[in-house]
Amino acid sequence: MEGKGWWEQGLPAKIAVALRYEPEEEHAPRVVVSGRGHLAQRIIELAREEGVYVHEDPVLAAALAELRIGELIPPELYQAVAEVLAFVYRINGKLKLEGGGDDKSEGARQD
């Protein structure tokens, strides 16, 4: 199977969903982009190029892909998304501390 794309292997299309969460402005994360197949791969590539953490969870991605662009995630997905966001905030805080940033809080965000 090496060298073959998902479409040649009979696998389901790759799914990518990007969220934005501004806790000062909204009570839940919002879907900002979503795609399948080649578009999903491009979303992932762009995220990595920009230094955005990419979390791979096909089940969560499929659930989020059912939402419309601009839609807030529903309460049923809060726990799963919160776990990913908590991990990302810890990573960002660690990177900021290692980079000599002024904010020493564990959940610091890099903008």
pLDDT score of 12 more than 70: no
Q: What pLDDT was estimated at residue 97?
A: 58
Domain boundaries, the chain: 8-73
Q: What is the pLDDT of residue 21?
A: 92
Judge whether residue 35 has pLDDT over 70: yes
For 21-41, what is the mean pLDDT?
A: 94
**CATH architecture designation of domain 8-73:** 3-Layer(aba) Sandwich (3.40)
**Minimal CA–CA distance to 31: which of 72, 60, 59, 61?**
72
